[in-house]
Amino acid sequence: MSQQVCVNRLKKELLALSKNDDIKDIFIAKPSTSNILEWHFVIYGPPDTPYHGGYYHGMIIFPVEYPYKAPSILMITPSGRFNCNSRICTSMSDFHQDTWSPFWSNCTIILGLISFMTEDEVGFGSIVQSKETRKKLAAQSMAFNIKNPIFIKLFPELVSEYKKNGIYYSSSSSSSSSNISKRNTPTVTTTTLTKTLKDTSKKKEKQNNIIIFIIFIIISSLFYIYFK
């Protein structure tokens, strides 16, 4: 009986995702063709982060007791933020059954993971590598993903786009960084300091807007699932 509740809930969430246009530029998620308890997702690297341009394949393993018990979350694509194929400790994973809420959904889980990904909080399954390493891994992410038969089977649209357009991540980024590093360090003046402070303020404002947008999507998803 509990497994049927789980299956019905996941089918409902799949339908909700298919109708949610707000998340289409943030991530894509699908269940395995042979097991609805095994979901695969691809996070599109958020802008203004070292992950921008990356495509991060991960997996959610739902227990038969879902939504009353939390699932396991794993990341498959190297990111410099999480260990590959290792369970990740977050407030929405099976590491914290005591804080899990049955009102959360796969959409909530993935959005929460994206938020956690952009931070540097350390926990089981998490690692902290340099921004340069994370940018490099972002550039290599699709080349890694297309070697995975499961990724190819579940996300043929991403594979086709990759083969059609080549590398997603602009190669000019690394060359620009290299050129910048060769230049002499400019003298710090009042003008440059003021500009730096303004840029920092704008970056924080963008991060706050992303968080607000994620909260909006979570609330919209919950409303759809429970009041549709």
Considering its fold, how many domains does the chain have in total? 1
Q: How many CB atoms lie within 10 A of CB 195?
A: 11
Q: Is residue 185 part of a domain?
A: no
This prediction has a pTM of 0.73
Q: Is residue 183 part of a domain?
A: no
41: nearest Cα among 51, 27, 52, 62: 27
Mean pLDDT for 154-167 is 89
pLDDT digits (tens, 9 = 90+) for 188-225: 334 444 454 455 455 556 555 666 666 666 666 666 56
Residues 78 and 144 sit within 8 Å (Cβ to Cβ): yes
CATH value at residue 13: 3.10.110.10
Backbone phi, then psi, for 31, in 5-degree steps?
-80, 155
Strands (E), 26-182: 27-31, 38-44, 55-61, 72-75
Quote the CA–CA distance of 216 and 198 in Å, as a whole number: 27
Residues 222 and 108 sit within 8 Å (Cβ to Cβ): yes
Q: Is residue 179 part of a domain?
A: no
Q: Is residue 133 part of a domain?
A: yes
pLDDT digits (tens, 9 = 90+) for 77-87: 999 999 999 99
107 is catalytic: no
Query: One of 6, 84, 89, 107 is an active-site residue; which one?
Result: 89
